[in-house]
Amino acid sequence: MDKKPITLDKRLDRIDAHLDKIAKIVSAHDIQFDKMAKAIINGFDSTDKKIDTSEANLKTQIDIYARAVDAYAKQSETYMQEMLALGNKVDRLERQIEQIAQHLNLKLEY
């Protein structure tokens, strides 16, 4: 069980061998890290493009609905004006009928 003392050169050689192994492992991890980083960046870029497309589609849909609401509001305004004019016409005709009835001494029943 005699152990020969290890020389300094052998120790340094062993340390160098270990450092080489560590360097290879770190290098492999760097490559994997770069691949993962690229995949993540590509994923974010893809997601950004999808969000931009969705945002553009949403803006288009909102614009379509806003135009539809505006058109409906205009139609509604026109309808209300027509109903007001028709109501005024009916009131005028009722007054004329009452005047005619008074002139003919007729009693109108409602």
Average pLDDT, the chain: 91
pLDDT at 4: 76
Cα-trace Rg, the chain: 46
Average pLDDT over residues 10-25: 91
Q: Mean pLDDT throughout 70-99?
A: 96
- Long-range CB contacts (< 8 A, 24+ apart) of 35-42? none
Where do we find the tokens 């980083």? 37
| pLDDT surpasses 80 at 99 | yes
CA 89 – CA 83 distance, rounded (Å):
10
Average pLDDT over residues 82-91: 97
Residue 94 has what pLDDT? 95
Angle at Cα 23 formed by Cα 25 and Cα 18, nearest 5°? 95
**Does the pLDDT at position 1 exceed 60?**
no
What is the pTM assigned to this prediction? Answer: 0.49
| pLDDT tens digits for range 18-52 | 999 999 999 888 888 999 999 999 989 889 899 99
Whole-number Å distance between alpha carbons of 35 and 17 = 27
Q: pLDDT value at position 110?
A: 78
12, pLDDT greater than 70: yes
